[in-house]
Amino acid sequence: MTEPRLLLCTDMDRTVIPNGFQPEPASARREFNQFCQRPDVKLAYVTGRHVSLVKRAIKNYALPLPDYAITDVGTKIYQIAKGSWQQMADWEAEIDQDWHGHTHAQLKTLLKPISELRLQESSKQNTHKLSYYLPLYLEKDTIIARIEAFLNEAGIEASILWSVDEPKNIGLLDVLPKHATKLHAIEFLQQKLAYADEEVIFAGDSGNDLPVLTSAVQSVLVANASDEIKKAALQLSQHNGHGDALYLAQNEARNNNGNYSAGVLQGVAHFAPAFAHKANTEKLS
């Protein structure tokens, strides 16, 4: 019988990084670190952060070093071995096709007439990621429709992702190649590493995680996610026919809530009970 294995893909901010408003269970990160050190678990961070900010977060929040990192909202994939972070060139070649020869600079010029958009810092941009701030008081759907019209007219295949930076109270809008989403990056990594569907679990908390949370990928929505995201995730996953693939982490008790990495481990126990049983056995030994 084949030994069970797990590819655990998780967002970082407000998922395993406790930088939201809700409290983090005291032992959550320690238990998460212990779990990710298991030889049958491969860890992949899936984040909007640039690679330098991923490395900084790992150090500042005492997070486990991943085996893989999908960064910049799916536009880069790194393999980490012996401290070396190597980009996967075959992933970049795949997503580059969607922009049909257009560069980052050309897209920025194309969208310049949309004055409501404010360009994010250079550290948050890359070859296949054009990122803006958008105030929350503006009608985002109307502005996104205008962006789509400009891109369609230029023959550019793009994904437009919206999320909210809660601590800073500002909207975040990313323009990416159509296939440079977290979902497609996870699927690419799964296929490259030959993991079966039941061997992959994703965890997230925000709007830019919705494409994965509402897909066929087994997904965990941590308990500290907003009510708006929880409602949207439930509705969309049911609509897409993947209701059974979504688990909402629960606040079971005061000292055993489903916030952040505690919620991630809750989801692992739900989808992969064999791992939860083995983890409990190891703790008791």
Right CATH for 6-92+180-284 from 3.40.50.1000, 1.10.1060.10, 2.160.10.10, 3.40.50.620: 3.40.50.1000
Q: What is the pLDDT along the chain (285 residues), one digit of tens a residue?
A: 578 899 999 999 999 999 998 999 989 999 999 999 999 999 999 998 889 999 999 999 999 999 999 998 889 999 999 889 999 999 999 999 999 999 999 999 999 999 999 999 988 898 999 999 999 999 999 999 999 999 999 999 998 988 888 889 999 999 999 999 899 999 999 999 999 999 999 999 988 899 999 999 999 999 999 999 999 999 999 999 999 999 999 987 655 689 999 999 999 999 999 887 554 434 433
Q: 103-119: per-residue pLDDT in tens? A: 999 999 999 999 999 99
Same fold, 6-92+180-284 and 100-177: no
**Residue 191 CB partners (closer than 8 Å, separation 6+):** none
Contact 91, 77 (CB under 8 A): yes
Q: How far is CA 145 from each of CA 123, 130, 152, 231, 271, rounded to the nearest angstrom?
A: 26, 16, 10, 23, 37
- The whole-model pTM stands at 0.84
Length of the chain, please?
Answer: 285
- pLDDT tens-digit profile of 60-98? 999 999 999 999 888 999 999 988 999 999 999 999 999
Residue pair 203/271 in contact (Cβ under 8 Å)? The answer is no
DSSP states of 14-57: TTTB--SSSPPPTTHHHHHHHHHTSTTEEEEEE-SS-HHHHHHH
Q: Where are the domains of the chain?
A: 6-92+180-284, 100-177
Please give the DSSP secondary-structure letter assigned to residue 83.
T
Say which CATH architecture domain 100-177 belongs to: Alpha-Beta Complex (3.90)
